[in-house]
Structure 1
Amino acid sequence: MDEQRVTGMRIADVVERLGISAHTLRYYETAGLLVDPPGRDEHGHRSYTGAHLRWIEVVQRLRATGMPVRGVRAYADLCRAGAGNEAARLTLLHAHRDQVRAQLAEVADHLEAIEAKISLYEGSVAGASVPA
């Protein structure tokens, strides 16, 4: 389905499509994490578009990579303000990227240590003695 043409999705549709809870989706809206809150249909139900889905995915990625809610809100505020603050957006994203890269390096170091232990135990299973 073409994301550009998605309109009129309800919370249940978004929840199913993006794999988040309705509570989380409502929280994103009330916490100011959405650049453009969803409109309402004739019955007062939230109505999401493809643009909302794309933005919610950005929020999910930023949160999943450890950006605090206040950082996501700051980024959303900058985007909501429109053109002219791209340098500030870039600064915020560069800082987050650097933090994610540092976390990845730390996890890679931990993985390397685990791999070394696995090698020792695999040698033990094969008949060699292994230190703890």
Structure 2
Amino acid sequence: MAGATREQTGDLTIQQMAHRSGFSEPTLRYYEKIGLLGEVARDESSGHRRYGPATVDRVEALACLRSSGMTVGGMRRYLDLLAEGDAAAAEQRELFAAQADKLAADIQQLRLRLTYLRRKADLWDARVRGDTEAEKQAVEDVMRVMDQFTLKD
């Protein structure tokens, strides 16, 4: 690949890998230490990490999983199941379905928090305008939203 950069060929430094994946350099080192990345190649002259194409692919997959809220344990489970191939397809399905359910619940809680903040803004807006009726309605709206919060929050 004449003229190709390291990033194009997949031979990335830790800084390039961090930038590309969104993980910090310490996180990449930690993931390597706990075995999520496998063995990361080292530059013979400097000893610095060099992320080859297979490791780049793995880090990018882990970044997607992490961005969905998956825990390190979940990512480890995914990699273990991946190594089993199609024989673990049903377990992979369950892993991803469970993570999707968790993410849906998280989104629902975030929407509730957003509604709460908007109702509080309405309350303060009514107070600024001196509109006691709107303020009374806003207080009721805030209380109704607060009743929906779960103990998890």
Superposition TM-score tier, normalisation by shorter sequence: 0.7 to 0.9
Indicate the larger mover: 92-101 or 4-13.
Answer: 4-13
Cα displacement (A) at 1:50: 4.3
Q: 1:106-125 residue pairs with structure 2 within 5 A?
A: 106-125=109-128
Provide the alpha-carbon RMSD of the alignment.
2.7
> Alignment partner for residue 39 of structure 1, among 38, 41, 45?
41
Q: Is the 8 A contact 1:32 1:76 kept in 2?
A: no
What is the CA–CA distance in structure 1 between the aligned matches of 2:125 and 2:54, rounded to whole Å? 50
Partner of 1:98: 101
How many matched pairs? Answer: 130
> Tell me, what secondary structure is at the counterpart of 2:74?
helix
Instruction: Deviation per CA, 1:80-128: give whole Å up to 9, x if none.
Output: 3434322211210110110110111111112112211111211222221
Instruction: Deviation per CA, 1:36-92: give whole Å up to 9, x if none.
Output: 543333334322134433432332343344322111111112223434322211210
Q: 1:67-86 residue pairs with structure 2 within 5 A?
A: 67-86=70-89
Unaligned runs of 5+ in 1: none
Q: 1:13-32 residue pairs with structure 2 within 5 A?
A: 13-32=16-35
What is the CA–CA distance in structure 1 between the aligned matches of 2:27 and 2:122, rounded to whole Å? 42
1:52 equivalenced with 2:33 (yes/no) = no
Structure with the largest fraction of helix:
2
Partner of 2:144: none
Partner AA of 1:42 in structure 2: E
Identical aligned residues as a percent = 33
What is the CA–CA distance in structure 2 between the aligned matches of 1:126 and 1:20, rounded to whole Å? 46
Q: Is the 8 A contact 1:31 1:73 kept in 2?
A: no
Indicate the larger mover: 42-51 or 84-93.
Answer: 42-51
> Tell me, what secondary structure is at the counterpart of 1:84?
helix
What is the CA–CA distance in structure 2 between the aligned matches of 1:11 and 1:58, rounded to whole Å? 16
What is the CA–CA distance in structure 2 between the aligned matches of 1:16 and 1:60, rounded to whole Å? 11
Cα displacement (A) at 1:5: 4.2
Partner AA of 1:31 in structure 2: I
Instruction: Deviation per CA, 1:16-38: give whole Å up to 9, x if none.
Output: 3334332210111121223x543
Q: TM-score if structure 2 supplies the norm length?
A: 0.68
Q: TM-score if structure 1 supplies the norm length?
A: 0.77
